[in-house]
Amino acid sequence: MRKGFRREIDALDEIFRFLEDFVAEAAIDERDAFTINLVVEELFTNLVRHNNGGGESIDIDIEREGDDFHLELTDFDVEPFDPTSVPRPPLTSDIDERSPGGLGLHLVRTMVDDLSYEYEPKTRRMRVSVTKRLES
């Protein structure tokens, strides 16, 4: 399933409805559905925040292939931003040494099996791809 969404945080409601249809059709259980929602939200909001000057929409492409879930987010007319290179936040128990920055990408990296990034300078198009082994 593939669909374009407005480059706005408020597009999340529409995105979650899109994901709801997908998990029902692909017979994905509640635990995996939770993870898919979280991963898509974190990556989508990351693109919205880091690529302010980008195109009007961000494409989300999702599919189930056997026991694997594949996700691609494609952003158009943007500067390069590699989410795989963002440092992991320190997970210390001292609240004064912690900050919430980088938490979303840390969750994504921990919850999926593969996260990759590619950028095409000529078209200024970037793509973030995810693979996750499903438990259902």
Partner 1 sequence: MFEITRDTEGSVHLKGRFDAAQVANAKHVFSFVDDSCVVDFAELSYISSAGLGLLFATQKRLVDNGSALKLTNLNPHIREVFRIAGFDNIFEIDE
Binding interface with partner 1 (CB under 8 A): 9-10, 12-13, 16, 30-31, 34-35, 37-38, 41-42, 45, 91-93, 95-96, 98, 100, 103-104, 106-107, 110-111
- For 126, the token pair is 């970037």
Q: At what angle do helices 30-50 and 103-111 cross, to 10 degrees?
A: 140
Nearer to partner 1, 27 or 91 (CB): 91
- Min. distance of Cβ 36 from partner 1 in angstroms? 11
For 47, list phi and psi in degrees, rounded to 5: -65, -40
Q: Closest separation between CB of residue 122 and partner 1, Å?
A: 32
From 52, 53, 56, select the one nearest 11 (Cα to Cα).
56
Q: Which CB sits closer to partner 1, 96 or 122?
A: 96
Assigned token pair, 8 = 């706005």
The residues that bridge with 69 in the sheet, in sequence order, are 64, 132
Nearer to partner 1, 20 or 67 (CB): 20
Q: CB of residue 79 vs partner 1: minimum separation in angstroms? A: 21
Question: Is 85 or 110 the residue whose CB approaches partner 1 more closely?
Answer: 110
Minimum CB separation of residue 121 from partner 1 in Å reads 29
Torsion region of 8: left, alpha or beta (phi above 0 gives left; psi -120 to 50 gives alpha): beta
